[in-house]
Structure 1
Amino acid sequence: MKNLKLVGILLIVMLLALAGCGSAQDEGSDDDSGSDNGGGDDASSEEVRVTLGTGGTSGTYYPLGVAMTEQIFADAEGVSQSRAVSTGASVTNAQELAEGKYDAVLIQNDIAYYAVNGETLEDFEGNTVDNMAGMTSLYPEDIQVVTTADSDIESLDDLNGKNVAVGDQGSGAEANAKQILEAAGITYDDITPEYMGFGDASQGLQNGTIDAAFITAGAPTSAIQELGANKDVNVLSLSDDVINDLTSEYSYYTERTISADTYADYGQEEDINTVAVMAILVVDSELPEDTVYNMTKAMFENREEMEAAHDRGSDITLEGARDGMSIDLHPGAEKYYDEEGVSAE
């Protein structure tokens, strides 16, 4: 009997021990499940990696984007790592933001509007970008039509029959080129369009394979400066009629005058009358509100980093952060602007 009692006691102890182990395993499984689903306080405070899509290395987006990611966003609370990537610029950036390739992109305000609303450009008709939210407006992007000073091109009319670089195919620069040519009564049938980025266009002008190039970027633009280091440049003015047609037809264009001094060291002799769109910074709408708030705050508390990276950095101001913003702001950015008393233009 004693042996039977002892066996019974041992069985009870073993069953209790097994039950305890099962309970501990169940509790552990609940914790793991919560972590996998991103729930709980730990997940909400998880830091994110930010990849910023910019543009070609010879434009303005790239140096500013590098300054933003390496010297500003990298230290923002909620960001574990940030980097800038050279891209095909506005249209490509919008498409690849939609695909999840980037967390933020630099883009023209007109292209952002078309992307969100699925309008105008073939790339976006019926294909809206649903995860794009505004963070800040940056600076005017000047449309510059450049040729060499020794060419016979003095106006848009002289582009007829010429080889003209119109930007990467499907890019924001190409959209601008088409619209400006149309305002001047010129179609692609009247020219030989060459699809290339700013750096390649500069090389083409140097070696004579193209006659002129459309460049949409903040002036001074390094591609034009690179050309001017080898040949004197002539950046064309648009006629008053073309400027009036563009600003009447498209709400995003504003009239701009670029001082001759901007490219005086490269042979430019006269002021340049043209139009501009606005460069803006947009983010994935799914980024956490606190993270975007901190990125926006860090940006305006460290503006000197962007000023050092490019002349256009000095155009980036808190007062103008909402001017020309063509899409809805991310809640994190809007929260920061509301706290700072920054209203839309």
Structure 2
Amino acid sequence: MKNLKLAGLLLLVLLFALAGCGSSQKEGEETDGGSDNNGGGDDSSGEEVRVTLGTGGTSGTYYPLGVAMAQQIFADVEGVSQARAVSTGASVTNAQELAAGKYQAILVQNDISYYAVNGETLEDFKGSTVDNMAGMTSLYPEDIQIVTTADSGIDSLDDLKGKNVAVGDQGSGAEANAKQILNAAGITYDDITTEFLGFGDASQGLQNGTIDAAFITAGAPTSAIQELGANKDVKVLSLSDDVIDKLISDYSYYTKRTISADTYADYGQKEDINTVAVMAILVVDKELPEDAVYNMTKALFEKRDELESAHSRGADITLETATDGMSIDLHPGAKKYYEEEGMTTD
């Protein structure tokens, strides 16, 4: 009996000790979390987030830049516990996945972000809006490039009639641009055989002869065109002045661009390319903590050389042009950084 009482007493002591340890551990965790709150009473302050950045196809410009942003810049930012970049179908897909909460940051064309926020124009967004989208920074002009092979006999948009034409991934920003440009020239999908292909697959199709031309919306030089040019001489078409003027008149986000022939001279291009461009922008979920986005924005410009190393278009990303072509409201964290740098954000 005495042994039973002693065993019971020891059991009670053990239970109290375990309970004390559990309580102490829990209190320690709560204290650690509170200590990162900067004492401001703001629940988002000090909160760490995981950031998945939606980019584009691996043969475009978004992907190498996005990988550099995630791995070499955002991963080391205070308030971000993990950052990674993923290859996607680009602008439209990115906007839809941001709305679904799959991505916390995306690279997207400024026209597509405008449609997404306002629920206009594109079938993908008519009648519905992406409500959690906020701007972080403008990046660089995205040139509309219509590429074919030098021996194709295609010299203008009119020559695309009856041909197999890659217009980008279905529902992508590139496809939206292709449709608008064709329409401006009086051409519809009924006049061509449409192929919904990403830039890499389009390049392969041009190489093996299964397609005749491809629409590519990306910063020049674009690796998909360079890959094609390594095997066949390329020809990037110019748009006529009438088509350019109509596009700029109908769509305020287009700007006129001239791509020097030198850009693709090593791949067979002989003439300057007159075309239009939209702006690539970096967008984040508006629910991301202000501190995290402020730190991400600051780091992006302080480590801009990482982007330049990843792709030549990284040189176009400057603080001076950070709000150029921004078609949606800025995230408060980004706005705070720009205002500290003396920029006007209204």
TM-score, length of structure 2 as denominator length:
0.89
Is the contact between residue 173 and residue 216 of structure 1 (CA under 8 Å) also seen in structure 2? Answer: yes
**Counterpart for residue 188 of structure 2:** 187
**Counterpart for residue 221 of structure 2:** 220
Write the distance in 1 (CA, Å) between the matches of 2:344 and 2:94.
Answer: 27
**Counterpart for residue 105 of structure 2:** 104
The residue type equivalent to 1:300 in the other structure is: F
Deviations 1:230-273, CA, capped at 9 Å, x for gaps: 00000000000000000000000000000000000000000000
Write the distance in 1 (CA, Å) between the matches of 2:244 and 2:210.
Answer: 29
Is the contact between residue 47 and residue 289 of structure 2 (CA under 8 Å) also seen in structure 1? Answer: no
Write the distance in 2 (CA, Å) between the matches of 1:46 and 1:333.
Answer: 17
Mark the CA change 1:170 to 1:341 in structure 2 (over 3 Å): closer, same or farther.
Answer: same
**Counterpart for residue 9 of structure 1:** none
Partner of 1:72, secondary structure, is helix
The residue type equivalent to 1:272 in the other structure is: I
Partner of 2:319, secondary structure, is coil
TM-fit CA distance, 1:45: 1.6
**Counterpart for residue 254 of structure 1:** 255
TM-fit CA distance, 1:46: 2.8
TM-fit CA distance, 1:343: 2.5
Deviations 1:66-90, CA, capped at 9 Å, x for gaps: 1101111111111111110000000
Is the contact between residue 253 and residue 276 of structure 1 (CA under 8 Å) also seen in structure 2? Answer: yes
Write the distance in 1 (CA, Å) between the matches of 2:309 and 2:286.
Answer: 29
Q: Does 1:90 align with 2:91?
A: yes
**Counterpart for residue 172 of structure 1:** 173
Write the distance in 1 (CA, Å) between the matches of 2:323 and 2:59.
Answer: 27
**Counterpart for residue 199 of structure 1:** 200
Write the distance in 1 (CA, Å) between the matches of 2:275 and 2:36.
Answer: 52
Write the distance in 2 (CA, Å) between the matches of 1:127 and 1:31.
Answer: 45
Write the distance in 2 (CA, Å) between the matches of 1:286 and 1:252.
Answer: 26
**Counterpart for residue 119 of structure 1:** 120
Asked which structure has the greater CA Rg, the reply is 1
RMSD: 2.3
Write the distance in 2 (CA, Å) between the matches of 1:216 and 1:106.
Answer: 13
Q: Does 1:81 align with 2:87?
A: no
Deviations 1:325-344, CA, capped at 9 Å, x for gaps: 00000000000000001225
Deviations 1:201-220, CA, capped at 9 Å, x for gaps: 00000000000000000000
TM-fit CA distance, 1:291: 0.3
1:1-345 equivalences in 2 (<5 Å): 44-343=45-344
Is the contact between residue 322 and residue 342 of structure 1 (CA under 8 Å) also seen in structure 2? Answer: no
Mark the CA change 1:33 to 1:304 in structure 2 (over 3 Å): closer, same or farther.
Answer: closer
Write the distance in 2 (CA, Å) between the matches of 1:265 and 1:83.
Answer: 34
Deviations 1:22-63, CA, capped at 9 Å, x for gaps: x989x98x969989xx98965642311111000000000000
Write the distance in 2 (CA, Å) between the matches of 1:170 and 1:272.
Answer: 26
Is the contact between residue 339 and residue 345 of structure 2 (CA under 8 Å) also seen in structure 1? Answer: no
Partner of 1:278, secondary structure, is strand
Write the distance in 1 (CA, Å) between the matches of 2:150 and 2:103.
Answer: 40
Mark the CA change 1:221 to 1:261 in structure 2 (over 3 Å): closer, same or farther.
Answer: same
Write the distance in 2 (CA, Å) between the matches of 1:54 and 1:247.
Answer: 26
**Counterpart for residue 12 of structure 1:** none
Is the contact between residue 74 and residue 81 of structure 1 (CA under 8 Å) also seen in structure 2? Answer: yes
The residue type equivalent to 1:94 in the other structure is: A
Partner of 1:293, secondary structure, is helix
Partner of 1:204, secondary structure, is helix
The residue type equivalent to 1:262 in the other structure is: T
Partner of 2:320, secondary structure, is coil
Partner of 1:338, secondary structure, is helix
TM-fit CA distance, 1:126: 1.3
TM-score, length of structure 1 as denominator length:
0.89
Deviations 1:112-139, CA, capped at 9 Å, x for gaps: 0000111111111112101000000000
The residue type equivalent to 1:159 in the other structure is: L
Which consecutive segments of 4 or more residues in structure 1 shift more than 3 A?
Answer: 30-35, 38-44
Write the distance in 1 (CA, Å) between the matches of 2:36 and 2:241.
Answer: 59
